[in-house]
Amino acid sequence: MSNESGGIHWHQQSVSREERERLGGHRGCVVWLTGLSGSGKSTIANLLDHRMHSLGVRSFVLDGDNVRHGLNAPPSVLAPQHGEEFAKRFGLGFSAMDREENIRRIGAVAELLVEAGLVTITAFVSPYRRDRDAIRQRLRPGAFIEVFVDTPLAICETRDPKGLYKQARAGQIKGMTGIDDPYEAPDRPELVLAGGVKDAATLAQEIVDYLRNAEVILPEVR
């Protein structure tokens, strides 16, 4: 047995995804919100989650900042408890490679939640097209719903909820998406939201309408 593989095998669940979906009355999927920092992704995601809950749809939000507190914590968060060597090896910063791993891990978590029959809502800048496409390829057809929150950079900068754009413009931080690091908009997203034009509640409702039309939300729970 290879020490590298560790004898890892996939164990089939005794309760299938289809059985879980029948119990819930809706299909499992990932609603992947992508867009610049300050585009409104987290606000829309939480409004959508609230509406799903009110409809009796089992949903959960994976938010970019929240997962950085634990699963994908940066070295500075891990070091006090685990030490510098551990933090350097397993902590994630914001380099292109670290961002790739951040999205890979989230994709793996989202895939598990979809198998549990949940509508999994993610809110990540996820700037690189290939990383988002890699998650799409891991899921069943129709289970990855890419939602581009298309808010102009100028509007995102006026919001600047974390002060990151201001710091980037002043040269205090590097690798800021949209400033000195690229954002690759989706080629063929399932849905484009006009961020900065419509309010967040309206945009969340557009996603609800899409999920109904795509029969993620089944007729009996409408």
Active site amino acids: 126
Beta-carbon neighbour count of residue 148 at 10 Å?
A: 21
Name every residue whose Cβ is closer than 8 Å to that of residue 51 and which is 6 or more positions away in sequence.
Answer: 204, 205, 208
The owner of tokens 């793996």 is 108
Contact 28, 218 (CB under 8 A): no
Beta-carbon neighbour count of residue 205 at 10 Å?
A: 16
Phi, psi of 88 (to 5 degrees): -65, -35
Contact 175, 183 (CB under 8 A): no
The owner of tokens 């129709």 is 142
Contact 122, 110 (CB under 8 A): yes
Query: What is the Cα–Cα distance from 47 to 55, expressed in whole angstroms?
Result: 13
